Every structure is written in structure tokens, then in C-alpha cells.
């Protein structure tokens, strides 16, 4: 079982890099640099590439709508070069709040666009003369849509790898099916080992049935909160505001992916109440409704023996990387948690 960690949105590059160096020594395998509406992920990954030597560096995530497919491919090739083959291209659609609210571009056709972006990236990395005629992207631009002077080109540089791993952040059944079909890795949210099959089992099976064997087995990057110790039970409450934000506040009624996920897990009535309270501005009350049972199931919070049992459950459910969120206030404590988890994982 591999161990990963998503870095803080708001952290400064120097401070974050110093911590990642410590985490690398503690045994972490991969770090994700997020890109929401703070600094861009590319700058942070480039900085980390110069400060680390072993750990994999992933975008978590580059948003489909904010770059052209070819720029995404060029950027990935560049990051793979500066990291000497340690880059993982995490892609995702994000959501209307960020794409339309911050970038000012329409949020449309995420599944179709994802497939086309992935296909274009792989053609670029293979240094093919780039000609692509898709529903959403046409390269070169057709003459009737431009000056008529565009011509097919190929990447000048020779990438370190022509098969840079692609990880898709996906939640809905169709998106998950696509990830299982075309990506090396899949990043779900709020992964519940005992109930993941209820939410995604059919979608994963359909995608894997169409999967190219050359892609290898699908890597699954679960994202549990982490706290190890005999006095960690109160920390379950720390996770609830995060869950309430997503289940209650990430979208309107009927258009909230995370509410739908909680419902598929069997918490439909609780999800409805969380959303009702959150949309009324009652955030603390909404967090209080989040069931302890749900938090405990999707997290690694408890004594070492309990955490070991939960790690085994994640592994049994197909997770290959635990992309943890350590519940600790400083670098020393976070590094200690990674060291403890490394020992647990190595013992399984």
C-alpha cells in the first residue's frame, strides 16, 4: 500500500517544500499539488521537483477547462522532464463554482472533454503530427473557424516518457467508468471501503471491460483523514465540517455530486438535512448532522490497531494508495503520522 498526501492550497512554496523533504524521508510515495483558486499547481510542482529526489509529484488536479489540451500535454511533459520522470498528471473537471465563477468559462460536457483531452495528450507525448478531429477539440483549427494558416505540428522536445501516468478525479458513474477505461489511476472522494461497490462497482466493472491491457491495473487513490492514537476519537468531529461543506454546500439541490454519493452510501435522509441546513447558512448545525459512522468509515482515525484494520479494509476494497490528510498542526506531528502509517502499511 502506497502513501500519498495532498498539500495545502494556501501554503507558500518554500515552507511546503521543506515539509515535503521531511515527508519524503519519512516514507511518503507521492504528493499532490492542488489547483483550485490559489497559486497554480504547475509552479509548485516545478519548485518541488528541484527540492526532492524520490517522491512522485502529481497535479491534484489540473482542471480540464483552464488550459487547451495541447498546453496540458506540454506542461505535463515539462514537469516530467524537470522531475526526471516523477510526474503524474492528475486531471479533473472541477465544478461550475470554480470553472464558471473564477475562470469565466462554461462548464459543459466533462465526460466527452476528458476523453478527448487524454487522447490528445498521449498523441503529443508520442510526438505524432497532431491532427485531431473531435466533438470538442479540432486540431489544427478548421479553415472555416480561423485564418486557414494553421498546420499540424508535433512536439519539438522528446519527452522523458511518452506514457506519463494519467489520474482522473471522478465521482459520478459515467466519469468513473471513463477513468477505469482510459486512465492509469482514479481518485475518488470520501472512499468508503465497505460501501464503495454500491457507489461505483458497476461503473468500475464497465470501464475495466473496455480497458486497454497496456494501461495495467487501475490504481485507486483513496483520501482518508489520518490520526493515530488512543486519544483521537474527538478528531472525528474535525472531519465533519469538511463533509458538510461538500454534501451540503457544493452545488444546489439536485446538482450536488457529493450529496448523491452520501445517498448512494445509504445516508440519504442525513444528506438531505445537511444540505438543507447548509444552504440556510447553518454550517455548524449541518456538520453536527454528519453521522459518526460515516466519518469513521472513510477515515483512518483511532488507535494503531484500529487504523491497521481500516488500512486492510481499504486494501481489500481495491485502494492502492492512501492519499491521507494528517490531522496535525505542525510538520513534526505530520511527519510522525506518516512514519506510523508507513510502519502499519509495511506490516500488512
Asked if pLDDT for residue 14 goes beyond 90, the answer is no
The pLDDT tens digits of the residues spanning 68-84 come to 999 999 999 999 999 99
Q: Distance between CA 107 and CA 66 in Å, rounded?
A: 10
**Which residue would you say has higher pLDDT here, 176 or 38?**
176
Distances (CA, A) of 11 to 7, 14, 113, 208, 290: 8, 9, 31, 37, 28
State which H helix or E strand residue 4 sits in: strand 2-6
Predicted confidence at residue 154, as pLDDT, reads 97
The pLDDT tens digits of the residues spanning 250-296 come to 878 988 989 999 999 999 999 999 999 999 999 999 999 999 999 99
DSSP 142: P
pLDDT band at 13 (very low <50, low <70, confident <90, very high): confident
Q: Distance between CA 261 and CA 275 in Å, rounded?
A: 13
Predicted confidence at residue 89, as pLDDT, reads 98
pLDDT band at 140 (very low <50, low <70, confident <90, very high): very high
Distances (CA, A) of 171 to 188, 189, 193, 207, 295: 6, 7, 15, 14, 18
Q: Distance between CA 232 and CA 256 in Å, rounded?
A: 31
Helix (H/G/I), strand (E/B), else coil: 152? coil
* pTM given for the model: 0.95
Cell of 269: 435522509
Strand partners, 222: 322
Predicted confidence at residue 268, as pLDDT, reads 97
Positions of E strands within 29-145: 30-33, 56-59, 62-63, 87-92, 132-133, 138-139
Burial code (b: 16+ CB inside 10 Å, e: under 16) for 83-117 equals: beebbbbbbbbbbeebbeeeeeeebeebeebbbbb
Amino acid at each position: 500500500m502506497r502513501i500519498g498526501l495532498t498539500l495545502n492550497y494556501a501554503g507558500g512554496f518554500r515552507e511546503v517544500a521543506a515539509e515535503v523533504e521531511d515527508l519524503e524521508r519519512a516514507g511518503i510515495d507521492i504528493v499532490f499539488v492542488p489547483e483550485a483558486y490559489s497559486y497554480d499547481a504547475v509552479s509548485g510542482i516545478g519548485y518541488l521537483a528541484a527540492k526532492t529526489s524520490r517522491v512522485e509529484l502529481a497535479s491534484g488536479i489540473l482542471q480540464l477547462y483552464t488550459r487547451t489540451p495541447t498546453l496540458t500535454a506540454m506542461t505535463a511533459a515539462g514537469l516530467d522532464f524537470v522531475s526526471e520522470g516523477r510526474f503524474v498528471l492528475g486531471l479533473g473537471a472541477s465544478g461550475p463554482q470554480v470553472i464558471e465563477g473564477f475562470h469565466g468559462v462554461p462548464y459543459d460536457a466533462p465526460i466527452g472533454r476528458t476523453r478527448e483531452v487524454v487522447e490528445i495528450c498521449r498523441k503529443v507525448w508520442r510526438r505524432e503530427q497532431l491532427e485531431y478531429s473531435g466533438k470538442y477539440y479540432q486540431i489544427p483549427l478548421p479553415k472555416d473557424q480561423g485564418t486557414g494558416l494553421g498546420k499540424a505540428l508535433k512536439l519539438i522536445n522528446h519527452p522523458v516518457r511518452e506514457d506519463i501516468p494519467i489520474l482522473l478525479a471522478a465521482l459520478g458513474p459515467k466519469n468513473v467508468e471513463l477513468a477505469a477505461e482510459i486512465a492509469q489511476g482514479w481518485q475518488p472522494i470520501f472512499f468508503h471501503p465497505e460501501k464503495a461497490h454500491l457507489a461505483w462497482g458497476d461503473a468500475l466493472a464497465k470501464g475495466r471491460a473496455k480497458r486497454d491491457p497496456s494501461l495495467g491495473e487501475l490504481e485507486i487513490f483513496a483520501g482518508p483523514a489520518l490520526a493515530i492514537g488512543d486519544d483521537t476519537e474527538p478528531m472525528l468531529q474535525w472531519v465533519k465540517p469538511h463533509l458538510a461543506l461538500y454534501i451540503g454546500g457544493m452545488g444546489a439541490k439536485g446538482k450536488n455530486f457529493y450529496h448523491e454519493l452520501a445517498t448512494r452510501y445509504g445516508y440519504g435522509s442525513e444528506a438531505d438535512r445537511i444540505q438543507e441546513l447548509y444552504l440556510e447558512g447553518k454550517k455548524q448545525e449541518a456538520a453536527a448532522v454528519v453521522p459518526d459512522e460515516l466519518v469513521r468509515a472513510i477515515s483512518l482515525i483511532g488507535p494503531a490497531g484500529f487504523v491497521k484494520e481500516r488500512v486492510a479494509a481499504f486494501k481489500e476494497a481495491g485502494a492502492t494508495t492512501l492519499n491521507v490528510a494528517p490531522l496535525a498542526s505542525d510538520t513534526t506531528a505530520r511527519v510522525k503520522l506518516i512514519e506510523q502509517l508507513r510502519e502499519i502499511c509495511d506490516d500488512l
